[in-house]
Amino acid sequence: MSGNFMPAGVEYLRILPEISLTIVGVLIMVLEPLLGEHRRNFFAGLSIAGLAAAMWAAIFAYSNPGPAFQDMLVIDGFATFFRIVVIGVGLLTVLCSMHYLRVERAGAAEFYALILFSIVGQSIIVTAGELIMVFIGLEISSIASYVLAGYLRDDKRNNESALKYFLLGSFATAFLLYGIAWIYGTTGSTNLLEIRRVLSNKDIAPPIALVGMAAALMFVGFAFKVSAVPFQIWAPDVYQGASAPISAFLSTGPKAAAFAVFLRVFLTAFEPIRSRWEPLVWTTALLTMIVGNFAALMQPNIKRLLAYSSIANAGYVLVAIAAQSEVGTAAAMFYLAAYAFMQVGAFAVVTHFARQGEKYVKVDDLAGLGQRQPVTAGMLSIFLLSLIGVPLTGGFFGKFYIFKAALDSHLVGLTVIGLLTTAVAAFYYLRIIVVMYMREPVEESADLPPLAPALQLALWASVAGTFFLGIFPTWILEFARRSADLVK
């Protein structure tokens, strides 16, 4: 670590996305009392402009990669990949929310500012080279997310969602913080590369039992954030109770950021003890796939069904992590990008047909959607088929490379269970498609308004992303593979 604490200009360039998002978020908060809440389209446009600027800044920062601020942040291909994913999720969420907030007569300015602040935290998480920065980024993202989960204050479901998320999230964060303190006490550092150096040196390495305990405590914190079994209990209730656009956001952006830091910490800092934590990840992946998919079979509420689907998909990503290889890391990165498109797209359709007060969120409420709005039903079908892993969609290549990485690492049993649970998932995804096309619409839910323009844009962008990753996966996979080489 250098003795010069004055940051260079290039270091500010490397955190330009976070700077731009923070400035826009603060600007929205300042302008809201001056312009009035009726300027909701202005605030939405400002948010989109800020996110687009942050996307450009993330790509521009990659032109000069390296550490920043005494190695607390690391800007490389891995960080850039996940920066773009979480910013992209933010863009889609803002588009999904514009009409929803108007229908619910909810304030827009604070909503968009909270989205931006949450993405700032997620961007810090994915670039963190220090455990302290991981904690700071996690808290920035989590606090904004807790508020977003209960944003509709007059809705009891939102209140319950926020309270459960906050209480259980704080409990899990305590495990993570205790693990960070423990590893600092045993190695004398919170820097990921320094921790790895200490653990790799047999002469100065602390007792393996102490390091294993620190890794286990941190694993609990990360497992909660990605909703892995047995720490998934919060996800169905929170996703069901929160507003549909926020459920889309929480199930993709924070989850991608949590998996990014999971990969960075365990494949960098704890790589020397990989034989100790590999069985834990293997077992968690197995349980997560089984519990997520079988619980989804019994859900009549589509938001709750997608919540359990999200849990199951976390299991597939954990399979890639269990592979402990560059191919596995690249497969996890690719799958998280594809998953963002198909999950946000599915929740965007839910946002549309649920209508004011989210009265229609049962699977049976989708009956006859194929006749009433064939384009909307077609797009939802694409997202569901991608979640199954049908060819020509991003979900197919994502699962293909995950299971390939598992087989290359001789995880045959885990691969077989993964394929069997994918068949289970096909049943409840196809059930939704059958309801849309083969059942008559329920009379009280038949009056469905046309898609709002912003929501249409979000849906078409999600469809385009799903097909692009399914038809032209090579460039993204190659970038992910090169970036995966840096996480070691």
Residue pair 323/261 in contact by the 8 Å Cβ criterion? no
Q: How confident is the model at residue 94 (pLDDT cuts 50, 70, 90)?
A: very high
- Residue that is written with structure tokens 């202005």 in the block: 42
- Residue that is written with structure tokens 């809440």 in the block: 37
Domain assignment present for 60: yes
Domain assignment present for 285: yes
Q: What is the structure's pLDDT at 1?
A: 45
Q: What average pLDDT does the segment 230-254 reach?
A: 89
Domain assignment present for 215: yes
Domain assignment present for 1: no
Residue pair 444/364 in contact by the 8 Å Cβ criterion? no
Query: DSSP states of 260-293 as a string?
Result: HHHHHIIIIITGGGHHHHHHHHHHHHHHHHHHHH
- Count the domains in the chain: 1
Q: What is the structure's pLDDT at 369?
A: 84
Domain assignment present for 3: no
Q: How confident is the model at residue 338 (pLDDT cuts 50, 70, 90)?
A: very high
Domain assignment present for 157: yes
For 145-174, the pLDDT digits (tens) are 999 988 888 778 888 888 888 888 888 889
* pLDDT at residue 3 greater than cutoff 60: no
For 190-238, the pLDDT digits (tens) are 888 889 998 888 878 788 888 888 889 999 999 998 999 888 888 898 9
Q: How confident is the model at residue 258 (pLDDT cuts 50, 70, 90)?
A: very high
Of 232 and 290, the structure prediction assigns the larger pLDDT to 290
Angle at 365 between CA 363 and CA 368, to 5 degrees: 105
pTM: 0.92
Q: How confident is the model at residue 2 (pLDDT cuts 50, 70, 90)?
A: very low
- Domain around 383: 9-484
Domain assignment present for 2: no
For 466-475, the pLDDT digits (tens) are 999 999 988 8
Domain assignment present for 196: yes
β-pairing, 73-75 vs 66-68, is: antiparallel
Beta bridge partners of 128: 73
Q: How confident is the model at residue 131 (pLDDT cuts 50, 70, 90)?
A: very high
Q: How confident is the model at residue 305 (pLDDT cuts 50, 70, 90)?
A: very high
